[in-house]
Amino acid sequence: MTTNDSGTIPDAEPLGAATDLATALRELIELSVVTTVGAGEVRAAADLVRAASERLAVARRPIEQLPALGGRAFDPVGGQASALAPPLVLRREEGGVVGEATLGVAYEGPPTYVHGGMSALLMDSVLANAAAAAGVWGMTAHLELDYRGPLPIGRPLVFRGRVAESGGRKSRMVGTIALASAPDEALVEASGLFIMPRQEKADVYFGGIADASGEHQPQSRAGDATAVAED
């Protein structure tokens, strides 16, 4: 279960509605890339999208106000209510986290393969979530990826992350992406250094944050990763 920043479970219906919209958007994004219908139909689809925007535009929160659902629901990687999020759900395994995802044509770089930058985006999230699952936390200070082979679009991939070394405010994380059918042959290897900001720096970074009611809410663990499914 995903909890919000104050540790409570958010109201199920707003989360359900936001997840429904994100799921519908992900499908439309994929279709927008693979459709071969004529330009008139594409324009008609755009009109429907603008009609949807009109409904949502009537009330919005300012940047510095946290969403009522809790920040991680909208995380652009793995957030169930984010339309951008590649559909990757992580779970705990011995020594780290693991998750499977099949990426659509919307995530394509070279023809029929996942964009190299998408692997970096996904692994930053996998490593951060593995850190959080291990009880360490930090912001990305260094990220490094070796690409051994391209990741095919439309085939199940497996993502793994674990702590390599941890001490004080620093954690070095490592992880891989492989075909689910050959999980031990890493096609992408990633490592990252995550550092928990000192309190005085966290105050500078997050001192202006307000919760959904508009109350000031200093962030102690602003990057809290709750995208890891509980057992």
DSSP letter for each residue of 173-189: EEEEEEETTSTTS-SEE
Among 6, 9, 24, 169, which residue interacts with a copy of itself (rule: CB under 8 A)? Answer: 24
What are residue 215's phi and psi, to 5 degrees? -70, 145
Residues 153-172 that bind a copy of itself (CB under 8 A): 153-154
CA-wise closest residue to 147 among 173, 113, 172: 113
Q: Does residue 120 belong to the site contacting a copy of itself (CB under 8 A)?
A: yes
Which of 1, 8, 94, 111 binds a copy of itself (CB under 8 A)? It is 111
Q: Select the residue interacting with a copy of itself from 4, 22, 70, 90 (CB under 8 A).
A: 22
Give yes or no for a contact between 26 and 101, defined as CB atoms under 8 angstroms apart. no
Q: In angstroms, how far is the first alpha carbon of the chain from the final one?
A: 9
Considering only 108, 164, 166, 170, the residue that binds a copy of itself (CB under 8 A) is: 108
Using the contact rule CB under 8 A, the part of the chain among 18-26, 89-97, 156-164, 177-185 near a copy of itself is: 18-26
Q: Say how many CA atoms lie within 13 Å of 206 toward its Cβ.
A: 16
Determine the interface stretch with a copy of itself among 59-67, 91-99, 160-168, 174-182 (rule: CB under 8 A): 59-67
By CB under 8 A, residue 139 contacts a copy of itself:
yes
